[in-house]
Structure formats: C-alpha cells, structure tokens
C-alpha cells in the first residue's frame, strides 16, 4: 500500500506543511528518513505514510532525489544548510534604493544560482523611489534578464508574474529589498508579513524568518526566503568560477595558459575583454573577490 506524495510548502518546528493531491496536510519526519535526510526543506517531494497518525499528522516515509538544491552557509560560516529543493529559477531581488543596492552582493547570489545550475534573473524593486536604470543596464549587459518593479503602482509586476507561471521559483536577496511585498503583489490574497527599513542602519529588519513556498494561481510555485545578511560562495571549484559568470563564459578557454585564473596572467582573454569594455571591469572585480575568497577558505576536509 503506497501513501500520498506531496511537496513541502513550509516547516514549523518539527511539523511540515505538505501539499498533496488531497489538499495540504501536516507531517513529521520518521526515524529512518530523519537519519538520511535530516534537513527536509521547502520544495522537497516527499512520500507520506498511507494513513495519518494521531492528531491527523502523517509520517514522512521518504524523500525523492532532489533535482536541484539551493544552499546557504550556516551562520558559523562552516558547512552549508539547504534552503529549498527542486527550484528551477532564482530571482535575485534588490531595491534600487532604501536599502542601497550592493551590485557585488547581487553578483554573489547570481553565482550561487549558477553554481547550482539554476537559471537566475535580477529583479530591481522600488523603481518608484529610483528608476535603477544604470543597475539594470549592468546586469543586462552581463546577460541576465532584468525586471524593474514597484509594488506602489504595480509597474512591472505583470511581466514578472507571467515569467513565474508554471515554474518553481525562489526569491532571494537582502533584507528589506521587498521580496515578501512582491509576492503579496503577485499573488492576490496573500498576506506575507513585510517589515520596515531601519532608519538607524538603513537596512531591512529580517522580517521573513524561514522559507515558505506559495502555490501560484494559474500554476507554479514561488518560494519566499529570509534576506541574507551575509552570503558566502561555497562548493564552487575555484577553477570553474569563471563559468558562473555568463559574461565571461564566451572567453573561457581563450587564455594563453590553460590554468589561467584571470588575475594578472599575460595573454588573459578575460582581462583583455574587460579592457575592451566587453566585460564590465566591475563584474571582473566581483569575480576576483570571489576567487580570492574561495581560494582562501578552508576545505571541508581540512
């Protein structure tokens, strides 16, 4: 006898909310699954026991292999923690102002998506306060799809909603960028909590505390995540970091030395492309910062 299959929407302590063909049910991890997959996350496809136990709570009997996994670094900086599974698109959300955008941070989040082989796009929100055209041009030139939005007038929301349909997408980005506000604007009837921007530090106040997956009217899912205060890259082989930059990709392999790190080596095709203005020097700078970080960080086995 086989049980229900479903998708994890949210976790509340030890209890998971799971969407099944029979509706949303509550479930907890059973012993063996708990040992094999201690961190069941939003987006995980799970198999439930055929019958609910006491209090209408099902047991999670198995977790399907994940197609993709988005991870973040643990606050201690060592090791990673899964955030969401089976995501097929990442939207990096940044405000155009309040809080001030940090292009380098957006680059980092884009690299995390690329490293997980998940296509990524950029959302520049709060265009009612600042049009964000310069920033939009920076990311378009790098090869990313860019959405400019505001929840105040609703400009840009429809274009984003159309792209989200029938996909499993996640929004990520700094606290206060307006991720939850965007989701509320995209999905009528949704009432995710949104927070103020601290006057004192000019940053968001970490209003969203855990990932939650929202079924979209018309098909697809959208995952809201807490804003990151610190984002590291990890599990990326420094030798393949260049491939995580779509604007560098066409030049990878064109350097004089096969093991070129694109720092100051002679005959570097990527440095030359930056000198010609084909690649933004600012983006190359992001690459070099991340490379230094990756090469400096202790490996798992050290």
Which C-beta is closer to Mg ion: that of 86 or that of 125? Answer: 125
Question: Please, are residues 146 and 119 in contact by the beta-carbon 8 Å criterion?
Answer: no
Q: Which does 220 bind (CB under 5 to 8 A by kind): ligand GTP, Zn ion, Mg ion, none?
A: none
**130 to 149: interface string for ligand GTP, x by CB under 6 A:** --------------------
* Binder of ligand GTP out of 89, 126, 161, 262 (CB under 6 A): 126
Measured between alpha carbons, how far is 150 from 182 in angstroms, rounded to an integer? 8
| Beta carbon of residue 29, minimum distance to ligand GTP (angstroms, whole number) | 26
* Binder of ligand GTP out of 43, 101, 220, 227 (CB under 6 A): 227
Please choose, out of 174-182, 230-238, 251-259, 262-270, the segment that lies near Mg ion by the rule CB under 5 A. 174-182
Measured between alpha carbons, how far is 63 from 147 in angstroms, rounded to an integer? 34
Question: Please, are residues 43 and 88 in contact by the beta-carbon 8 Å criterion?
Answer: no
**151 to 180: interface string for ligand GTP, x by CB under 6 A:** xx----------------------xxxxxx
Measured between alpha carbons, how far is 6 from 19 in angstroms, rounded to an integer? 5
DSSP conformation letters of 27-46 = EEE-HHHHHH-S---BT-EE
User: Which candidate, 78, 10, 19, places its Cα nearest to that of 48?
Assistant: 19
| Beta carbon of residue 142, minimum distance to Mg ion (angstroms, whole number) | 26
Give the CA dihedral 216, 221, 226, 228, nearest 10 degrees. Answer: -130
Binding positions for Zn ion, 248-287, rule CB under 5 A: 255, 260, 262, 268, 270
Measured between alpha carbons, how far is 59 from 49 in angstroms, rounded to an integer? 5
User: Which candidate, 125, 7, 14, 20, places its Cα nearest to that of 67?
Assistant: 7
| Beta carbon of residue 98, minimum distance to ligand GTP (angstroms, whole number) | 7
Please choose, out of 49-57, 191-199, 234-242, 255-263, the segment that lies near ligand GTP by the rule CB under 6 A. 191-199
Rounded to 5 degrees, what are φ and ψ at 297?
A: -80, 145
User: Is residue 150 a contact residue for ligand GTP (CB under 6 A)?
Assistant: yes
Which C-beta is closer to ligand GTP: that of 9 or that of 92? Answer: 92
**179 to 208: interface string for Mg ion, x by CB under 5 A:** xx--------------------------xx
């Amino acid at each position: 006898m086989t049980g229900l299959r479903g998708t994890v929407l949210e976790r509340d302590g030890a209890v998971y909310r799971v969407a099944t063909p029979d509706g949303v049910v509550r479930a907890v991890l059973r012993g063996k699954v708990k040992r094999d997959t201690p961190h069941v996350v939003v987006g995980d496809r799970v198999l439930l026991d055929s019958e609910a136990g006491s209090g209408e709570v099902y047991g999670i009997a198995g977790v399907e292999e994940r197609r993709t996994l988005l991870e973040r670094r643990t606050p201690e900086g060592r090791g990673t923690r899964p955030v969401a599974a089976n995501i097929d698109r990442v939207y990096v959300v940044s405000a155009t102002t309040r809080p001030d955008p940090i292009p380098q941070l957006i680059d980092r989040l884009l690299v995390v998506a690329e490293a997980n082989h998940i296509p990524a796009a950029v959302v520049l929100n709060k265009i009612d306060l600042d049009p964000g055209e310069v920033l939009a041009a920076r990311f378009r030139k790098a090869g990313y799809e860019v959405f400019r939005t505001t929840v105040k007038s609703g400009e840009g929301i429809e274009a984003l909603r159309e792209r989200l349909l029938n996909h499993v997408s996640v929004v990520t980005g700094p606290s206060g960028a307006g991720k939850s506000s965007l989701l509320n604007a995209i999905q009528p009837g949704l009432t995710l909590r949104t927070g103020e921007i601290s006057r004192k530090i000019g940053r968001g106040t970490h209003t969203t505390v855990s990932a939650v997956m929202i079924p979209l009217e018309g098909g697809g899912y959208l995952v809201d995540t807490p804003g990151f205060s610190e984002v590291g890259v990890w599990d990326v082989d420094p030798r393949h970091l260049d491939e995580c930059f779509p604007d560098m990709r066409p030049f990878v392999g064109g350097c004089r030395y096969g093991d070129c790190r694109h720092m100051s080596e002679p005959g570097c095709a990527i440095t030359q492309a930056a000198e010609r203005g084909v690649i933004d020097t600012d983006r190359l700078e992001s690459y070099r910062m991340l490379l230094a970080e990756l090469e400096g960080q202790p490996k798992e086995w050290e």
